[in-house]
Amino acid sequence: MRVLDVVKAIAQGLATTFRHLPDRVTTQYPDEPVRLERRFRGQHILHVDENGREKCVACFLCAIACPADAIYIEAAEDLRPYPERIGVDIRYARVYDIDYGKCIFCGFCEEACPKDAITMGPNFELAWYTREDMIKHKEDLLITRQRVSPHLEIAP
Amino acid sequence: MEKVRVLSARFDLPDSHTIEVYLRTGGYQALRKALAEMTPEAVIEEVKRSALRGRGGAGFSTGMKWSFVPKDSSKPKYVIANADESEPGTCKDRVLMEKDPHAVIEGILLAAYAVQAHLAFIYIRGEYWYLKERLEYAIEEARAHGFVGANILGSGFSCDIIVHPGAGAYICGEETALMESLEGKRGYPRIKPPFPAVVGLYGCPTVINNVETLASVPPIILNGGDWFRRLGTEKSGGTRLFAVSGHVARPGVYELPMGYSMKRMIEEDCGGIRGGKRLKAVIPGGSSAPILTAEEVEQCTLDFESLLALKSMLGSGAIIVMDEDTDIAQVVYRITKFYEHESCGWCVPCREGTRWMRKLLERLLRGEGRPKDVDLLYELARNIFGTTHCPLGDAAAWAVYPAIEKFRADFEKYVRAAAVSVSAEPSDVPGARRLLVV
Amino acid sequence: METVKVIINGKEVEAPKGKLLLEVCFDAGFPIPNFCYYKDLPPQAACRMCLVRIEKMGRLQTACTMRVSEGMVVTTESEEIRRARMAMVDFILANHPLDCPVCDKGGECELQWMAMNYGDLLARFDEQKDATGEYPLSPFIWLDPQRCILCYRCIRVCDEWVENHALGVRGRGAHSVIVGNRPDGTLACEHCGNCVEVCPVGALTSTNFRFRARPWDIRDTVTTCTYCSDGCQLRLSVRDGRVVRAWAKDLTKMDAEFANKVLFSFRTAPETRHNWINEEFLCLKGRYGNEFVNSPDRLRVPLLRRNGRLEPATWEEALKYVAQRILEIKRTYGPESIACIGSPRLTNEDLYVLAKFGRQVLETPHVTHAMDVDWRPFFKRLTVPLLTQPELREQMPTILLIGGNPPEYNPLTAYSLRAAVHRHGARLYIVSARPIGRLQVATRFFHIRPGSEPAVWLALLDEGEVERAAEATLLTREELYELRRFVWEADRLALLVGREVTGPALEAAAVLGGMLQAKGERIVRVLPLLRFNNSLGALDMGLVAEMLVPEQVGPQIKALYLMGCDLVRFYGDAWRQALARAELVVAHELFLTRTAELAHVVLPAMSFAELDGTFTNNAGQVQRIRRALGVAGDWRPDWMIIDQIAAKMGADLGCRHSAANIFREIAETIPGYQGITYARLNEEGAIQTERPLMPLEVIDRARLLERLRAQVEAIDHTAERLQEPAPLGIGLFEPGTLTEHVPLLRQAFGWDVRESVEVSR
């Protein structure tokens, strides 16, 4: 009796397994794009306003919010009129480095930002050969400079 | 009540500003009497008995003010006549100085004698440049007759008078700001205490009185304090000049006894409301005083106590009469704009509050009002009231919140108008005016 | 002092009568929010944040102007007051730009704190703000009028602390703007930046600190200023290995919660107590002159002269070379052929080790320091203790300044003089050959002939000489008698001795105090206005030999060991040839100075920001300097370099690898320094050394008078008084060894600094 129960249970379990066998779960990365949810937290994006001025005013709040101490900023002054400026305000980040060797992708920087200048982007391809390469500069992070990887797609 | 002309007695005489006319009509008799027969203390006593109260706005007892000056101080003492008449609606001192400058000078000399000051200043509003000349001429006349200068009338008492013009700041009508200005500094009000009677001009004891107050002193000395008191009420003695403006048939400066009925003044003396319209509101004491409704005017008499009971004040005696067509919100906006312009900028609530109120009213009147705006305006005025460094802030608040209490509908109609205009617009048009819809 | 009882929030408090209610409440543990109140500045009552309810008074009263009286019943916390404060914050924020992320003050702003604590989180102001931009008032100071809350602290500080009267208000009401004293609204002043420091918001900001850091990412170190001899304490803020600012704000004076939560939370400095001799004052150099430590021109490696050129070398090579050459020269020409010259800027530890090295290892008598060595006789004949700055500010009702120009050369002394007059009405008499611009608080000013300071001392010392002195000084006899009365009848007298006083007059200055005290019960203190931050320390450490003249080098002196002193700059070009004649010149330096260029070996030393040590200021007070920066170059402390050279020469100087150990030895051996330790210095701040005083009987006064008379005779009796005050910035705006490497100062004053010499690498 008991043996039959056991066999039945195994059969049931395996039936589920076999039923799903034809399903394709594995994504054939990089041959196929990876599908990401919208709130996925990948590499940061530094945003610009509608005229292409950097939104970041180098207030240093992300740097202090960062639990991993991965963000390094140097602020500078740009007194030119708005059309010629680099950033939206007279204060902008001359240096904006994120060390992906340290970053834990918690998204606190995004929450701390008073200017909506930094958000977590979808890019997850963060592997390099040296530690120096893991430090990404402003030029790498700006939305105008970042290339979106062909290997991902974002869920609608 | 009997209408006696004390201050304006000489107004209608030809060449009333000359010393000849003044002497002919009993001028400088009070000074002669005081110097010959009275001690300084007796002068102060007489003024106390007259229940003369300051005509500048605050209505403080003049005799009391003089008695606060320390007698044993080693410092020199000063008398200042506050002729910086800049309260909107007020023009009584102008007439007084124009028609009867010697009465002012005699009053100053009596005050100087009472507190034993040997130098007096007339701080005159900058716009009254022509009066400065007239006053200076009058002082020279008086000096030639021995009333001003060293050893006046052989009594051994000396006093000189200097006329100094302001530069057009409302705040310099405030007594301590006036002193700062007179000293050559920025016209900021000082921190009180100490009060000017103890630490005033150049750090010395100073008596500062309104021109009209001082001009009332010679008749008091001449006829006695009791006579003066009987002209008015028990607590507000004498007569006073009222500058009536606005929608009355005959605006002008009227001398009326204290305690006179306001309604009677408007209807009889000033010939009633212009064009036979109905009375809507009255601002009784220059723009600083809380507004009165027509009903309140019915029961109001022209003395300090009656207006205090109505939570307003007699102020500088400038009575602004408004008829039924007047939009109180526009009135308040105009007054607020004045206070914003004249705020000295010393303290936060006045500086920032008046600007805020002005901007809010501007938006309201532009037709972009929102439902909460009237309440917010009311609260702003309440927040300014009682927290500022000097009374200018209080005045700015007084111009606003009583008006909202009494004429709320005048304000709310703008909010309603805005609400209607918004709802009439297609609401989903991008870039539509950002307005809250009721 | 009469005390009164007041009841604050139901708690009975005893307080001195007439004290400001706000201060009484603060002491009683009821801090009252405020912007415009500032300790020791005249009350303003502009911000209306400190409104409190006092019983029997009609309206709310400002606690910052109200003085306590008996039986006062005060409420500082109630719904009414809460609402009033909220209203005030609302008003202030109405036109205030909410650009905290951009604003430099963000994170340590008093308005942020007030808004968070006393304000309404809902902003009700919904109108257009009157916006203005930021603009510079001077090369050092920027103004953003829109952020300004018009608390007038800056104006009052400028008037009271530095007497520049450079700030004022233009416009009225809501259009009031802080402006400078030039017609175009910019500043003509000494740019001390104290106005920036007291600004509660980000309206006034410093050019050098703008945008460079946030309060939470800097580390502060309390240290001693490296410029004048007054010895101000300052806080160096370091971000990312660079000094970004110096400041002196007394955080203990602020709302404790604000200070603890906001200002200290990210700082590791243990020195939170603020018993500084300079209170909160800093001058131009103290505040803006520290960035030479960040300079790219700093020497980073030892340089060794090879084939006539200075070339980089390793420490090992350089030290070995120095030790070898010194030994050779000592062997060849004898120990007296070597001279050690220190700099009065270095720490006591460095100078002590140099002196010890010179005496014990080199065995030379020529151990001295540059510049202030002429003050030796003054300290030798000192008859009364030295005057500290707090004493000058609080305890001295009569003050006499002879010579000197404190606003330029000793700014803290000038601040203390003003404070003495403002706080307790001290009488200040000034005797000077030149009108002093920024000490208008003086009671009397005696305008004398240039160079006739000795005659004034002569007249003070000896009544019989008034006639002679009158002739020499161009003062009348009555004036000199008045001066004598002032000095001889004072109960508590402070004597300030300027740089113009030299030779026998200097000795007279030291002796006069003793003579006054011998005359009766009185207290006399004397303050020598020395030049450099550690001039007195250098004398104490024994660098007291006669300063060399350049002619001695070559025939007599073969080797020069120069520690941080630029002889060519100090004493002129005669030293260029002298240095060329020397067989060995060793220089410890921060920069390749004119002198170092001619050296055979240049050893990169550490600056005051990288070192631990002590300075002794002109009042004989020992104060700590603390290491604020990490290592950015291959440099070493001066004492360590000497220690290592001595080791190579086979001697042990006993440094035991730490400045603390050297100081322990100093405390054991140098008179006056007994009992002082680093621990005590950390605890107490400044500790005054007890100077050996010379008993009056020992001094041959007749002989001194005779020499003084001779000095008076030598005065040029044809010179006329100088009518023009010394130009603003005569001392402060001049380039110096260190200041010329501060980019901000260089730019601001247009200093044309010579190109640094190419060093082959």
The 3-class secondary structure across C521-537, one letter per residue, is CCEEEEEECCCCCCHHH
Tens digit of pLDDT for each residue in A67-103?
999 999 999 999 999 999 999 999 999 999 999 999 9
Mean pLDDT over the full length of chain A: 93
pLDDT band at B60 (very low <50, low <70, confident <90, very high): very high
Separation in Å, CA of C440 to nearest CA in chain A? 39
Whole-number pLDDT of residue B434? 36
Is it the case that residue B429 has pLDDT exceeding 80? Answer: no
How many B-C residue pairs are in contact by the CB < 8 A criterion? 88
Chain C environment of B343 (Cβ under 8 Å): 172-174
Q: What is the pLDDT of residues B120-130, one digit of tens each?
A: 999 999 999 99
| Same domain, yes or no: C346 and C422 | no
* pLDDT at B420 (0 to 100): 65
CB contact under 8 A, C217 and A114: no
> What number of residues does chain C have?
761
What is the Cα–Cα distance from C73 to C29, expressed in whole angstroms?
16
Q: How many helices (H) and strands (E) would you count in chain B?
A: 19, 11
As a whole number, the mean pLDDT across chain C is: 92
- Among the ranges given (B422-431, C403-412, C563-572, C576-585), the one the predictor scored with the smallest mean pLDDT: B422-431
Q: State mean pLDDT over B422-438.
A: 39
Average of per-residue pLDDT across C275-299: 93
Residue C264 pLDDT: 61
| C663-686 average pLDDT score | 93
Inter-chain contact B352–C48, Cβ cutoff 8 Å? no
* Residue for token pair 């006696």: B4
The nearest alpha carbon in chain C to B355 belongs to C174
Integer Cα distance of C253 and C575 in angstroms: 51
Asked whether the beta carbons of residue B342 and residue C172 sit closer than 8 angstroms, the reply is: yes
Are C518 and C427 within one domain? yes
C366 and C395 share one domain: no
Please indicate, yes or no, if residue A16 is contained in any of the structural domains: no
In a domain, A14, yes or no: no
Q: B390-404, C122-136, C582-596 — which is least confidently predicted?
A: C122-136
Position A90 in a domain? yes
Say if CB C80 and CB C12 are below 8 A apart: no
In order, the DSSP letters of B145-190 are: TTSSBSSGGGSS--BEEEEEE--S-GGGGSHHHHHHHHTTS--PPP
Q: Hey, are the CB atoms on C173 and B169 less than 8 Å from each other?
A: no
Pick the last residue of a domain from C688, C723, C744: C688
B346 chain-C contacts, CB cut-off 8 A:
46, 150
pLDDT in tens, C690-709: 999 999 999 999 999 999 99
Decide if C445 contacts C455 (C-beta within 8 A).
no
pLDDT at position A46 over 90: yes
List CB contacts of B295: < 8 A, sequence separation 6 or more: none
Record: contact C174-B359, CB cut-off 8 A: no
Strand ranges (E), A22-90: 34-36, 44-46, 71-77
- Number of neighbouring beta carbons within 10 Å of residue C704: 19
Question: CA A114, A119, A120: angle at the middle one, nearest 5?
Answer: 145
Tally DSSP H helices, then E strands, for chain C.
25, 28
Q: In 3-state terms, what secondary structure has residue A136?
A: strand
Confidence of residue B430 (pLDDT cuts 50, 70, 90): very low
Residue entry with tokens 């010629």: A84
Whether the CB-CB separation of C87 and B387 falls below 8 Å is answered with yes
Residue A22 DSSP symbol: T
- The CATH number of the domain where C520 resides is what? 3.40.228.10
Q: Are residues C556 and C677 in the same domain?
A: yes
Average pLDDT on B85-111 reads 95
Cβ of A89 within 8 Å of Cβ of C100? The answer is no
- The ipTM is 0.90
Closest residue to A77, CB basis, from C101, C210, C217: C210
Residue B194 has pLDDT above 80, yes or no: yes
Q: What percent of chain C has pLDDT over 90?
A: 82
Yes or no, beta carbons of C214 and A64 under 8 Å apart? yes
End-to-end CA distance of chain B: 54
Question: Does A110 fall in a domain?
Answer: yes
| Candidate from C101, C216, C217 with C-beta closest to A115 | C101
Specify if A61 maps to a domain. Answer: yes
Residues of C in contact with B376 (CB under 8 A): 124
What local confidence, expressed as pLDDT, does residue A22 receive?
87
Contacts with B191 from chain C: Cβ below 8 Å: 43, 45, 65
CB atoms C106 and A63 under 8 Å? no
pLDDT at B391 exceeding the cut of 70: yes
Q: Which of C43, C87, C174 sits opposite B351 (nearest CB)?
A: C174
Residue contact C102–A57, C-beta within 8 A: yes
Does C131 contact A at CB distance below 8 Å? no
Amino acid at C685: G
Domain membership of residue C618 (yes or no) is: yes
Please give the average per-residue pLDDT across C659-686, as a whole number: 93
Using a CB-CB distance cutoff of 8 angstroms, which residues of chain C are in contact with residue B359? 127-128
What secondary structure letter does DSSP report for B273?
B
**Tokens at C204, concatenated:** 């006034």
CB atoms within 10 A of CB A140: 17
Cβ within 8 Å, pair B345-C128: no
Chains that touch B (3 or more CB pairs under 8 A): C
Do C332 and C403 fall within a single domain? no
Determine the pLDDT at residue C355: 96
Interface contact C91-B388, CB threshold 8 A: no
Residues C640-646 have a mean pLDDT of: 96
Structure-token pair, residue C278: 């300079």
- Best mutation target among C35, C86, C126 (most B Cβ atoms within 10 Å) is C126
- For the ranges A21-30, B247-256, C170-179, which has the lowest average pLDDT? A21-30
Q: What count of Cα atoms within 13 Å lies in the side-chain half-sphere of residue C243?
A: 29
Q: What is the pLDDT of residue C757?
A: 43
For B223-232, what is the mean pLDDT? 93
Amino acid C551 reads: E
Count of residues for chain A? 156
Interchain proximity C101–A76, CB inside 8 Å: no
**pLDDT above 70 for C40:** yes
- Does residue C647 lie within any of the structural domains? yes
Residue among C134, C210, C217 whose CB faces A60 most closely: C217
pLDDT of residue B422: 52
CB contact under 8 A, A58 and C210: no
Position B123, amino acid: Y
What does the pLDDT read at residue B30? Answer: 95
Chain A residue numbers with beta carbons less than 8 Å from the beta carbon of C101 are 57, 59, 61, 114-115
Which residues are registered as beta bridge partners of B122? B81, B163
CB proximity list for B324: less than 8 A, separation 6 or greater? B277, B278, B279, B280
Please tell me whether residue B12 adopts helix, strand or coil conformation: coil
The answer for C 337-376 residues in CB contact with B (under 8 A) is: none
Interface of C with B in 60-99 (CB under 8 A): 60, 65, 83-84, 87-88, 90-92, 94-95
Question: Under an 8 A CB cutoff, do B340 and C173 touch?
Answer: yes
d(CA C180, CA C187): 4
pLDDT in the model for residue C340 = 96
Give the mutation candidate from A54, A90, A95 for the C interface (greatest C CB count, under 10 A).
A90
Q: Are residues C513 and C395 in the same domain?
A: yes
Joined together, the tokens standing for residue C561 give 């060991």
Give me C457's structure tokens.
């001392």
Instruction: Say which CATH number the domain at A91 has.
Output: 3.30.70.3270
**C-beta atoms of C211 and A77 within 8 A:** yes
Number of domains in chain C: 2
Q: What is the mean pLDDT of residues B230-258?
A: 93
> Is B94 in the C-facing interface, judged by CB distances under 8 Å?
no
> Looking at chain B, which residue has its C-alpha nearest residue C123?
B376
Express as a percent the part of chain B with pLDDT over 90. 85
The separation between CA C404 and the C-alpha centre of its own chain, rounded to angstroms, equals: 16
What is the pLDDT at residue C630?
A: 84
Predicted local distance difference test score (pLDDT) of residue C262: 67
Number of domain units in chain A: 1
Tell me whether strands C584-589 and B292-293 are parallel, antiparallel or unpaired.
Answer: unpaired
Summarize the confidence of residues A53-80 as an average pLDDT.
Answer: 94
Alpha-helix residue ranges (DSSP H) falling in B318-407: 328-342, 348-363, 373-384, 391-398, 401-406
Mutate: best of A64, A78, A82, partner C, most C CBs <10 A: A64
Long-range contacts of C303-312 (CB under 8 A, 24+ apart): C303/C592, C303/C601, C303/C602, C303/C759, C304/C600, C304/C601, C305/C599, C305/C600, C305/C601, C309/C760, C310/C592, C310/C597, C310/C599, C310/C602, C310/C759, C310/C760, C311/C759, C311/C760, C311/C761, C312/C759, C312/C761
Residue C515 carries which side chain, given as an amino acid letter?
M
Query: Chain C contacts of A77, Cβ < 8 Å?
Result: 210-211
Q: C735 in a domain, yes or no?
A: no
Predicted local confidence at residue C320, as pLDDT: 96
Among C99, C100, C211, select the one facing A58 at the smallest CB separation. Answer: C211
The answer to the question of residue C92 being in a domain is: no
Instruction: Provide the pLDDT for residue B245.
Output: 94
Of the candidate ranges B8-17, B20-29, B354-363, C247-256, the one whose mean pLDDT is the lowest: C247-256
Backbone angles phi, psi at C253, to 5 degrees: -80, -15
Residues C628 and C573 in one domain: yes
Is the residue at C5 inside a domain? Answer: no
Q: Looking at chain B from residue 314 to 373, which residues have their Cβ under 8 Å from any Cβ of chain C?
A: 340-349, 351-356, 359-360, 363
- Asked if C552 and C659 sit in the same domain, the reply is yes
> Is some CB atom of chain C closer than 8 A to the CB atom of A115?
yes
Domains delineated in chain B: 19-231 (3.40.50.11540), 239-323 (3.10.20.600), 328-424 (1.20.1440.230)
Interface test with A, best of C98, C100, C102 (most A CBs within 10 A): C102
Residue C7's pLDDT is what?
95
CB contact under 8 A, C214 and A57: no
With respect to residue A108, please indicate whether it lies within any of the assigned structural domains.
Answer: yes
| Per-residue pLDDT at B248 exceeds 60 | yes
Range of the domain at A57: 28-154
Quick check: C486 pLDDT over 90? yes
Dist. CA C103–CA C203, nearest whole Å: 9
For residue C134, list chain A residues with Cβ-Cβ distance below 8 A. 90
Q: Kindly state whether residue A38 falls inside one of the protein's structural domains.
A: yes
* pLDDT of C753: 59
Quote the domain boundaries for residue C417: 378-530+695-713
pLDDT at C265 over 70: no
pLDDT at residue C442 greater than cutoff 70: yes
Residue with tokens 């408004």: B322
CB < 8 Å to C99, chain A: 89
Render pLDDT for C321-369 as a digit per residue (tens, 0 to 9). Answer: 999 999 999 999 999 999 999 999 999 999 999 999 999 999 999 999 9
For residue C256, pLDDT over 80 is answered with no
Residue C217 within any structural domain of the chain: no
Average pLDDT over residues B68-90: 93
CB contact under 8 A, C100 and A59: yes
Q: Which of C148, C65, C76 is nearest to C109 (CA)?
A: C148
**CA-CA distance, B388 to B349, in Å (whole number)?**
6
Give the CA angle between residues B239, B132, B174 to the nearest 5°.
60
Could you tell me if residue A7 is inside a domain? no
